[in-house]
Amino acid sequence: MSIKHYDVVRAASPSDLAEKLTHKLKEGWQPYGGPVAITPYTLMQAVAIEGEPQVGPSSEPDWYYVIVLAGQSNAMAYGEGLPLPDSYDAPDPRIKQLARRSTVTPGGAACRYNDIIPADHCLHDVQDMSTLNHPRADLSKGQYGCVGQGLHIAKKLLPYIPNNAGILLVPCCRGGSAFTQGAEGTFSESTGASQDSARWGVGKPLYQDLISRTKAALQKNPKNVLLAVCWMQGEFDMSAATHAQQPALFTAMLTQGGRLTCKFRLSGALTNNQFGLGIYLYTDAPVPDGVAMTGTGNPFLMSYFTQTTDGRVNLMHHRKAGNTKLGEFGDYGNDWQTLELVFTAGSATVTPKLNGVAGPAFQVIKDSLTLGLNALTLTDVTKNAAYGVEIESLMLEINAPAA
């Protein structure tokens, strides 16, 4: 037998191993030696093949467990060893990743941002390691780039998930990143975090990249399930004088309070001082310990409306004691506008983002308004003439730390 490829089949029980081996036999593989119990819960069987495996359409998963990979160099393809894509680092048809680069591999098939593509030894992280090749690499054999462990984490989990399911990796790592130092970089919904992004934290481009790509992976199929976020942090925070701040910054990122995102547009002719969209939410529950909120009445988490003045569309904070202006969307028109309100956990602080541009943070207050008790309320605010409002999407995300 002239062996060309080796592989390993892992299973959680003898019956599971038999089923998986049957599948491999149909592809042309043969057992190589006998099964080995590597843990009380894991059986492993080596297999080998002389030619190329006959992988059919049935190998494609029906749905995916989503695993997000994040952190710095420890979490991504910084391994300097020679890739072994024909054996140890061989891709698996049930393990995919979300694309970031314009080709699946250097010079390979074209792909677009957030496409589902095969996962290999050099994943599509924020930092591109695909052009840094081992001195003895044979690029004709796919031995490009550096080596990471994401593919192998997924391979370890395959024996424990249903046979019709796969694993979809979401690579979001950046070597040399930290919480207390490093360039923030930029973020775009169409391309993710820029490669120079090197700062983690609430609202930072790397965090936005992680959140948006995780959502994209889950939206690929309503059956997809978020299995885990695999975070591996390196040493760059320890080299900064402000290293003691890292634990609190990390915790704040995990327990971020939440975010409301609304994409809307107004219709009708420009009329100065006319109202448009109103968003309200208040609760009669007590304010949590440690959260300072001024004013009297009930805690108003949201009391915002749009209003035009001097031809501009403004975001206003509705307050019984007098409304305040929070920011501008720009000149009035019938184009789509995006409003984001980012709530910081453990405080009354909110940061508005109007069409992607962050404005000054402000404090939510207690007030005696009467709209929106324990329910998110959308309204035109007034009985008088108001702009027509069309809403394309509305998303309210609430992140609560475990009890």
Q: Which three-class secondary structure state does DSSP give residue 19? A: helix
Total residues belonging to the chain = 403
User: 81 with 132, same domain?
Assistant: yes
Of residues 400 and 135, the one with the higher pLDDT is 135
User: Could you tell me the CATH number of the domain that includes residue 369?
Assistant: 2.60.120.200
Nearest residue to 183 (alpha-carbon basis) of 193, 196, 192: 196
In the chain, the amino acid numbered 226 is L
What are the pLDDT digits (tens) for 233-275? 878 888 778 888 888 888 878 776 788 999 999 999 999 999 9
Asked if 40 contacts 12 with a C-beta cutoff of 8 angstroms, the reply is: no
Q: What is the pLDDT of residue 59?
A: 62
What is the mean pLDDT of the segment spanning 159-185? Answer: 93
Asked if 5 contacts 48 with a C-beta cutoff of 8 angstroms, the reply is: yes
Residue ending a domain, among 14, 35, 58, is: 58
User: 105 with 196, same domain?
Assistant: yes
What is the mean pLDDT of the segment spanning 123-137? Answer: 96
CA torsion sign for 59, 65, 71, 75 is: negative
Mean pLDDT of the chain: 89
Residue ending a domain, among 42, 58, 74, is: 58
User: 324 with 241, same domain?
Assistant: no
Q: Read off the pLDDT band of 3 (50, 70, 90).
A: confident
Beta bridge partners of 64: 166
Q: Which three-class secondary structure state does DSSP give residue 341? A: strand
- 166 within domain boundaries: yes
Q: How big is the chain by its Cα radius of gyration, in Å?
A: 26
What is the mean pLDDT of the segment spanning 305-309? Answer: 96
User: 13 with 105, same domain?
Assistant: no
Q: What is the pLDDT of residue 57?
A: 43
Q: What is the pLDDT of residue 150?
A: 96
| Spatial separation of the C-alpha atoms in residues 24 and 41, rounded to whole Å | 21
What are the pLDDT digits (tens) for 138-151? 999 999 999 999 99
What is the signed CA dihedral for 356, 357, 361, 365, rounded to 10 degrees?
-50
Nearest residue to 17 (alpha-carbon basis) of 160, 146, 150: 160
What are the pLDDT digits (tens) for 35-93? 999 888 788 899 999 887 775 544 689 999 999 999 999 889 899 999 999 888 999 99
What is the mean pLDDT of the segment spanning 112-139? Answer: 96
Q: What is the pLDDT of residue 60?
A: 80
| Spatial separation of the C-alpha atoms in residues 185 and 201, rounded to whole Å | 12
What is the signed CA dihedral for 209, 300, 361, 326, rounded to 10 degrees?
110
User: 295 with 242, same domain?
Assistant: no
What are the pLDDT digits (tens) for 214-244? 989 999 998 999 999 999 987 888 877 888 8
- 355 within domain boundaries: yes
- 403 within domain boundaries: no
Q: What is the pLDDT of residue 401?
A: 53
User: 132 with 28, same domain?
Assistant: no
- 143 within domain boundaries: yes
What is the mean pLDDT of the segment spanning 356-384? Answer: 88
User: 301 with 341, same domain?
Assistant: yes
* Domains held by the chain: number: 3
- 98 within domain boundaries: yes
User: 89 with 44, same domain?
Assistant: no
Asked if 49 contacts 26 with a C-beta cutoff of 8 angstroms, the reply is: no
% of the chain beyond a pLDDT of 90: 59
Nearest residue to 334 (alpha-carbon basis) of 313, 309, 358: 313
List the domain range (segments joined by +) for residue 111: 60-254
